[in-house]
Structure 1
């Protein structure tokens, strides 16, 4: 457990497939979807930064008081990589993810949930005592 005896946050790493490629390539739409998801999750938005690549793709971050939402899109594959990290109890990362997948018309979603700030996850990092 963490020093506080509870997780510091939850991180969702999502692979969303068979999305609407036109939405994935439109910076304005991607930004609106991500900001909307943060609001639906009850997050406090601090900063929003998005960039469109040539010939295609969008990357962006919505910085929230409770951590962040990020996205990287590959319209040519109808795919996006989404990361949602939240701290505290009043923000629901699953609500944000549901909003994102619905708004992109995703047909397939694979998600890994990571509990952050838990000391019992030593197996995921190098243990200095083993060196």
Structure 2
């Protein structure tokens, strides 16, 4: 029996440097932008968890039917970490993960400090 190889999905992890501090302190703007991405890429949100810290940084986890998008910001260091993972249950979402990550990099007008791709 010849079995077809299966990859559960691509998981991108990036650390970004951001000069525009308002994007690192406005969780609501990030949510609004993310909602647009979910529509653009036809992703289904299952839930969202948001925490705003005293220093105006934030952490957000968007749980998707396809997996998740998570962010943690550090305005005091002009940085954020972002992770985007979509599983390949019904289709190969590899390019979609790369495109979503690129859209976030553009949104933040960021410089990429670290960029990891993990094929699950």
Structure 1 window deviating more from structure 2 (107-116 vs 93-102): it is 107-116
Partner residue of 2:82? 82
Greater mean alpha carbon deviation, residues 57-66 or residues 44-53: 44-53
CA distance in structure 2 between the partners assigned to 1:82 and 1:19 by the alignment: 16
Report the Cα offset of residue 28 of structure 1.
0.6
> Do the aligned partners of residues 101 and 109 (structure 1) sit closer, same or farther apart at CA in structure 2, a change above 3 Å counting?
farther
CA deviations over 1:109-128 (Å, ceiling 9, x no partner) = 53100011xxxxxxxxxxxx
- Aligned counterpart, 1:103: 107
- Residue 110 to residue 41, structure 1, CA distance change in 2 (3 Å): farther
TM-score, normalised with respect to structure 1: 0.77
- Asked if the contact 1:101–1:109 (Cα under 8 Å) also holds between the matched residues in 2, the reply is no
2:72 corresponds to: 72
* TM-aligned CA deviation for residue 90 of structure 1: 5.4
Any stretches of 5+ residues in structure 2 without a counterpart?
none
Query: Which residue in the other structure is 2:8 paired with?
Result: 8
Aligned length: 114
SS at match of 2:72: strand
- The unaligned stretches of length 5 or more in structure 1 are 117-131
Distance (Å, rounded) in 1 between the aligned partners of 2:35 and 2:4? 30
Partner of 2:53: 53
Residues 46 and 63 in structure 1, CA contact (< 8 A), matched pair in contact too? yes
> Matched residue of 1:32: which SS?
helix
Cα distance between partner residues in 2 of 1:19 and 1:67: 29
After TM superposition, the runs of 4+ consecutive aligned structure 1 residues lying more than 4 A away are none
Pick the structure with greater CA Rg. Answer: 1
CA RMSD, 1 decimal? 1.9
